[in-house]
A and B are shown apart, each in its own frame.
Chain A
Amino acid sequence: MTTDLAIEAENLARSYRTRTGWLRPQRKTIEAVRGVHLAVGRGELFGLLGPNGAGKTTTIKMLNTLLLPTSGTARILGYDVARDALEVRRRIGYVFGGDRGLYERLSALDNLRYFAELYGVEPREQLPRIQELLETVGLSGREKERVEGYSRGMRQKLHIARGLLHRPQVLFLDEPSIGVDPAAARELRRVVADLVAGGTTVLLTTHYMAEADELCDRIAVIASGTLRAEGTPAELKDRVRKLDVLEVEVHDAVGPEHLQRLRDTAGIEQATVETSGTVDVVTVHARPSHGTHAAVLAALADLRTGKVTTREPTLEDAYLSIINGTTTGSA
């Protein structure tokens, strides 16, 4: 089967039915993914960004055959995820973040040996392939230790090695760098970049905007189960480039009333606050105008303000702007 697209999804949707209580059961249907369209080319690194509960993992589970779509279709390298699950599984790898998902009592080597069997790696290729992957992810020399003694970063590397055992053409990385220290996260990014350079198609979900900005060829932002925007990192940033981004250091606690006052101010699209050490940093996205600076300070007049800076919009600004509904649509 030949197609230029590695991942295709048309109107992909998935709902869950939940039930609570026994005597008077309460039934609820949750629409986790609502009509997602995706088209990811071969060899592309595609990012799927979104807040917790946005539908990222559900989308990935439908694409990797662990879940059947409620409606819509999806194909991996031309194979339908519902009808040709075995063909899809032969061609994909799945790496997820977190501490679980490995056999704690086994060594890394035995974990990989077992999954090499499960994923159909030829017996004579298993050990050389495992050694190669241990080298790639930086676990050589530690492979005979039990996984229960591994750090989060080492586990994550082992997850990646497992996902690559059978040389998948398409790799799903579901928050692979969650909880990993910066040095290990950088190593992971290097491994992912090398994979893509080698022709592997990667679909990555992450909460780290810098990671997505550095790695992804294209990004889709998903929220409440629907795609809100799609484009290259530069295209997404361009959406908010027309806005000024002001950061104001405040030496008192910023309350919701201050943010509301800012949002009610003419010309201000978005206002958020983040605590950084002993100061609160208020970030304001505003339409360019001569009075913005003064209007922002006026809204925070009852607080002790410090340094005010204007900076270039980042992917995070674009992401927040899309999630909060300030900008939508394709780039």
Chain B
Amino acid sequence: MTTVSHASRASRALRLAFHGGGLSYRALFNWTTPPMFIGTLLVGPLFQIFFFVHVGRSLHVADDRFYLLGNAVLATSMPCVYGAIMAVANERRFGTLGAVLLSPRSRGLIWGGRVLPYAVNGLAVMTFMMLVGALVLGLTLPPSTLLGLAQVFVVAAMSCALFGLALGALAVRIRDVYVISNAAFTLLILFSGANLPPESMPGWMNAIGSFLPLHHAIEALRALFAGASFGEVWSALVLEVAVALGYAALAYGLLRFFEWRSRANAALDVM
């Protein structure tokens, strides 16, 4: 009886996270139409790869592979950072936040479930960038790297989406949260190490980057393609997982805090 009830509770929790998360993605993500999806999530980041490859070739900073690997991972920030922010901020736009906050169900499942579709979206974007980028630039993807590549992509997408959710939590309190998202996107270009070799970055930039998502994932991916051992790749990935968990905790804490503040201080125009 208890086992059945535990199983039923677990299945309802999974349903809220996955089914609810999927519905919320369709409801709240602004870029699901084909022109927006292709233009913003695929074409734009692809041109970014070619731009930095060109800069690298012109200034002899690094080779094509360096920019392809870095920017393929960085491309996940479009769906993950902006999308996860929309997952909260658009509730205000539609006037639905109050109806959501009246839910008696777990906030961790409601908000955590919302991150999953964006992570899957980010995964798809990274895969597209890697395949098309490699094809156009004439680079090979050795079969031995594919399993590691998949692991890096999954961790990077989750880490970036949780970072986006932490920023999105601010939308419960701040109306113009997209100003922050634009700054965060630029921050990732600068500090993630996607376009600047870490060894040429000052220590303080590396230090900031190590607390941001994608920094360690890019490091892991480059190590993988440089033929590093499984342990070496995973030591960087573990750091990325730690960053992801940090942002998950921050997002949960901020969402709970702002929800409480909205009740206590009437700080939110919820309806």
Rounded to whole angstroms, the CA-CA distance of A104 and B32 in the bound complex is: 14
B264 within 8 A of A: yes
B238 within 8 A of A: no
Q: B103-111, B153-161, B177-185, B211-219: which lies at the A interface?
A: B103-111
Interface size class of A (residues with CB under 8 A): 35 or more
Pairwise interchain contact B15-A103, C-beta atoms closer than 8 A: no
Q: B23-31, B125-133, B136-144, B244-252: which lies at the A interface?
A: B23-31
Q: How far is the CB of B79 from chain A (nearest CB, A)?
A: 17
A105 within 8 A of B: yes
Assuming the A-B contacts A65-B263, A68-B263, A101-B94, are A115 and B99 also in contact, with contact meaning beta carbons closer than 8 angstroms in the complex? yes
Rounded to whole angstroms, the CA-CA distance of A162 and B94 in the bound complex is: 15
Rounded to whole angstroms, the CA-CA distance of A94 and B95 in the bound complex is: 14
A253 within 8 A of B: no
Residues facing B in A89-107 (CB within 8 A) are 89-90, 92, 94, 96, 98, 100-106
**Residues in A neighbouring B101, C-beta threshold 8 A:** 66
**Residues in A neighbouring B100, C-beta threshold 8 A:** 118
Pairwise interchain contact A114-B20, C-beta atoms closer than 8 A: yes
A117 within 8 A of B: yes
A113 within 8 A of B: yes
B12 within 8 A of A: yes
Rounded to whole angstroms, the CA-CA distance of A101 and B91 in the bound complex is: 9
Report the nearest B residue to A119, measured CB to CB. B103
Pairwise interchain contact A67-B263, C-beta atoms closer than 8 A: yes
Residues facing A in B212-271 (CB within 8 A) are 262-266, 270-271
Pairwise interchain contact A89-B103, C-beta atoms closer than 8 A: yes
Pairwise interchain contact A101-B15, C-beta atoms closer than 8 A: no
Q: How does the 8 Å CB contact mask read for A114-152 relative to B, with 1 for contact and 0 for none?
A: 110111101100000000000000000000000000000
Assuming the A-B contacts A101-B271, A118-B20, are A68 and B264 also in contact, with contact meaning beta carbons closer than 8 angstroms in the complex? yes
Pairwise interchain contact B15-A117, C-beta atoms closer than 8 A: yes
Report the nearest B residue to A32, measured CB to CB. B266
Rounded to whole angstroms, the CA-CA distance of A187 and B270 in the bound complex is: 28
Pairwise interchain contact A100-B95, C-beta atoms closer than 8 A: yes
**Residues in B neighbouring A64, C-beta threshold 8 A:** 102
Give the most central of A98, A105, A110, A118: most B CB within 10 Å: A118
Pairwise interchain contact B271-A103, C-beta atoms closer than 8 A: no
**Would you call the interface of chain A mostly helix, strand, loop, or mixed?**
mixed
**Residues in B neighbouring A266, C-beta threshold 8 A:** none
**Residues in A neighbouring B20, C-beta threshold 8 A:** 114, 117-118
Pairwise interchain contact A110-B27, C-beta atoms closer than 8 A: yes
Report the nearest B residue to A103, measured CB to CB. B27
Pairwise interchain contact B98-A89, C-beta atoms closer than 8 A: no
**Residues in B neighbouring A89, C-beta threshold 8 A:** 102-104
Pairwise interchain contact B96-A103, C-beta atoms closer than 8 A: yes
Residues facing B in A229-257 (CB within 8 A) are none
Pairwise interchain contact A162-B99, C-beta atoms closer than 8 A: yes
Could you list 15 further interchain pairs (A-B, Cβ under 8 angstroms) beyond the known A17-B265, A113-B19, A118-B20? A61-B271, A64-B102, A66-B98, A66-B101, A67-B266, A98-B95, A100-B271, A101-B94, A101-B95, A106-B27, A114-B20, A117-B16, A117-B105, A118-B16, A120-B12
Residues of B within 8 A of A (CB): 11-12, 15-16, 19-20, 23-24, 26-28, 32, 94-96, 98-105, 110, 262-266, 270-271
A-B contact pairs, 18 of them (CB 8 A): A66-B98, A67-B266, A68-B264, A89-B103, A92-B102, A101-B98, A101-B271, A102-B96, A103-B96, A106-B27, A111-B27, A114-B20, A117-B105, A118-B16, A118-B20, A118-B99, A118-B100, A118-B110
